[in-house]
Amino acid sequence: MSEGAVPQKHPSAEGVHGTHGKKAGKTALAVGAIGIVFGDIGTSPLYAFRETFAGTANVAIDRMHVLGVVSLIFWSMLLVVAIQYVTILMRADNKGQGGSLALVALLSRHIGKTSYGWLVVLLGVFATSLFYGDSMITPAISVLSAVEGLTVVDPGFERFVIPIALGLLVFLFVLQKRGTAKVGALFAPVMIVYFIVIAGLGGWQIIQNPDILWALNPYYAVMFFVTDGVVAFLALGAVVLAVTGSEALYSDMGHFGRGPMRLSWFGFVMPCLLLNYFGQGAMIAGLPPEQAAEVVRNPFFLLASEEWRLPLVILATVATFIASQAVISGAFSITHQAVQMGFMPRLSILHTSETEGGQIYIPFINWALMVAVIILVLTFQNSSALASAYGIAVTGAVTIDTLLMGVLFVGVWKWKWWYAAPVVLLFLIVDGAYFAANLTKVPDGGWFPLMVGFIVFTLLTTWARGRKLMRDRMTEVALPIEIFAKSAKNSATRVPGTAIFMASQTAGVPSALLHNIKHNKVLHERVVILTVLIDDVPYVDPDKRCEYHDLGDGFYRGVLHYGFMEETNVPDGLQKMDRCGGEFDMMQTSFFLSRQTLLPSDKPGMPIWREKIFAWMLRNAATAMEFFRLPTNRVVELGSQVEI
């Protein structure tokens, strides 16, 4: 959290949700969503069905089990994605934005002062932490599974799979700093072609073996559990791969709006995916057992005839490239939210588009993800091994979202508990079963996303706790500004110009101002103590951006309000605060910042090991000058020491 930027509850702040809708029609937005949002869940057919039979569950390959698995995939997609996320949770938007952090901000606005408000925040932060593990595995497993299709074309390509996959992944991360606006224009047409192709391939197999449509009946999913209880339970760990990306749909809602995304999902993406899954099942069910055991090792690519398999591999590789791009962009957006909401230190955030504020690039996150993805590919070697690590982060986040959904029903939507309880219980049973099944994969690789999740959770909560302790300590010793203004006006020489002192609190005198008058013995003609507040809404109405108070004798206190999705551009905000004694001329304005150094405390506010982590994060945070977009030649930084 930056000096001068603190999260602030501000219920009156209004977002600007709907601006996308003014620029483009619902259909155009729905088409755009197909290219950007649905890549993760759209590329699941490459490995989800295969892993159910070829993975650790070792499901028998016969008619009953094929029908049972396809039925499980169908009902999972219907319950988890279509109903829980697309139908219910997409109604829980925070001024148009979705995702765990946006949901937490929405809930905090209504129940923040209750006895369990802190638990809601921790659950949301942990769900966000799990997302980082998912964002590392998704590019690795998606690109690997697509490139492995080359071995279906020619087994001799096997030795080239890892080098090609690594080359594509490195290129993907290098591409990020250039932005995705131009490349993004190609995403929708490519993904539409991809979905049509996989639907056509699946549909042709269904025509050959329409008996697979019996899987629409949940009876076969139930009978799978009745006859093979343990095996069916383990199979859930692979079946859930078909719904990975569901949480991302909710997180990306702000880019396109709930209406267009629902149109894309129900009108195009879901039917295409189901046709492909049913087609893979129809193909396997129609083969003799010996041949089926061979085909199930890579059924997705074997849906196509031999001469079309190489083009299918190329198309699938491009689709996984797009899916990985969306996940990386999602990691940038989530990080930006976390920084603005006070759970991460300042990071260097670069904007890659002059017109789209949401297109950002965060170098630290980009290179950290790239290193993690390379390590994953080299460690696990193939997509089947990675499938053991995949799923636990997704199911963990989905289960947490279900708990938060219960709070939403009762605390925000004001449902009676006897209405909310059965709905939440149903989804908890479904999501909890998937999570429990994935826990069995912890020894085989599931430990990785859990480890990442716990590390990120520790960092986020340590930063939030440390910043709170620092603000509390500074508030305790802060001198009231009214007293300071009266005593300082006659004790220091006034010099021409404007001095802006960035402050993390809206009360008291910032340490930079005290140090300046102590060492330099001067005050500018106009002194503005400026605080940046991050409200718990994604966007703040421009009319409510600024507020100010005239303290007399040339002293002013100003406040700039920003949403957690906005860029904190202080010079731009000051242009709208011309009532603070006149307009701000950047060439006549100096910005004074405080840089805190931590000192050991006799009574530390948190364990020493967490203090050391916090101190390390504080030292490595991006400068406030960079974060607030301050003019580089108009900044003075003064140090102070704080005990926490």
Amino acid at 567: E
Angle at 204 between CA 200 and CA 210, to 5 degrees: 130
Strands 546-552 and 555-562: antiparallel
Q: What is the DSSP string of 396-412?
A: HHHHHHHHHHHHIIIII
pLDDT at 13: 37
Amino acid at 45: P
The H-assigned helical ranges of 37-154 are 39-42, 48-54, 63-76, 100-111, 117-147, 150-153
**CB of 78 closer than 8 Å to CB of 215:** no
137/398 Cα distance (integer angstroms): 17
Q: Is 436 left (phi over 0), alpha (psi -120 to 50) or beta?
A: alpha
pLDDT at 388: 79
pLDDT at 356: 52
Strands 350-351 and 360-361: antiparallel
Of 370, 306, 362, nearest to 339 by C-alpha is 362
All residue ranges of the chain with pLDDT < 50 are: 1-4, 9-24, 355
361/325 Cα distance (integer angstroms): 12
Burial of residue 562 (number of CB atoms within 10 Å: 0-12, 13-18, 19+) = buried
Burial of residue 641 (number of CB atoms within 10 Å: 0-12, 13-18, 19+) = exposed
SS3 at position 605:
coil
**CB of 205 closer than 8 Å to CB of 303:** yes
195/272 Cα distance (integer angstroms): 6
pTM value?
0.81
**CB of 360 closer than 8 Å to CB of 584:** no
pLDDT digits (tens, 9 = 90+) for 225-279: 888 888 888 888 888 888 887 877 777 777 777 888 889 899 999 999 999 999 9
pLDDT at 184: 58
Instruction: Check residue 446 and report its DSSP letter.
Output: T
pLDDT at 41: 87
Of 498, 503, 540, nearest to 631 by C-alpha is 498
Residue 538, token pair as written in the block: 């994604």
Of 556, 551, 570, 550, nearest to 498 by C-alpha is 556
pLDDT at 205: 93
SS3 at position 404:
helix
